[in-house]
Amino acid sequence: MDTIEKNKQTVIAFIQAMFTQGDLSAADTYLAADFVDHDPPLGFGGRDGLRDAAATFRVAFPDWHSDLMFLVAENDLVVEQFVASGTHQGEVMGVPGDGRTVTLPGINIFRLRDGRIVERWGRLDELGLLRQLGLVPTPVEA
């Protein structure tokens, strides 16, 4: 298996372990000690921040999982487009669980070095998530 394929497998393994299986130790396993998160999700920055985000979502959405839509790689970069979802059963951002399914689509770009993730850039539909939680009003159609 070449380096590009290994990098793709590392990203898939990280996402599945951390966000689908709820294995918080995946941050230590797959993220380099000098990991930099250029676009921290919902303000959860760095290696510990990603672990905290996963823990927060696991409490609020015990069945939280990430479905891979596509994955492309070139050189040391891997791009993942995904849709994550879960059933809102616990409190998150002050909103109690209501049993509804919440979805969060997004795109992540990961840079790897020596088999570990060293950087992440991402765009998540955080506004859509906040709307689903009732924290931001949904625009009225004209």
pLDDT tens, position by position, 38-84: 988 877 888 998 899 999 999 999 999 999 999 999 999 999 999 99
Q: Which residues contact 104 (CB under 8 A, 6 or more apart)?
A: 83, 84, 85, 124, 125, 126, 128, 129
Amino acid (one-letter) located at 123: R
Domain limits of the chain? Answer: 3-132
Q: How confident is the model at residue 142 (pLDDT cuts 50, 70, 90)?
A: low
Is pLDDT of 35 > 90? yes
Q: How far apart are CA 103 and CA 63, in angstroms?
A: 12
Task: Take residue 49 and report the two structure tokens written for it.
Answer: 């921040």
3-state DSSP call for residue 134? coil
**112 with 78: CB under 8 angstroms?**
yes
Does 3-132 carry CATH code 3.40.50.300? no
Q: How far apart are CA 17 and CA 14, in angstroms?
A: 5
Q: How confident is the model at residue 141 (pLDDT cuts 50, 70, 90)?
A: low
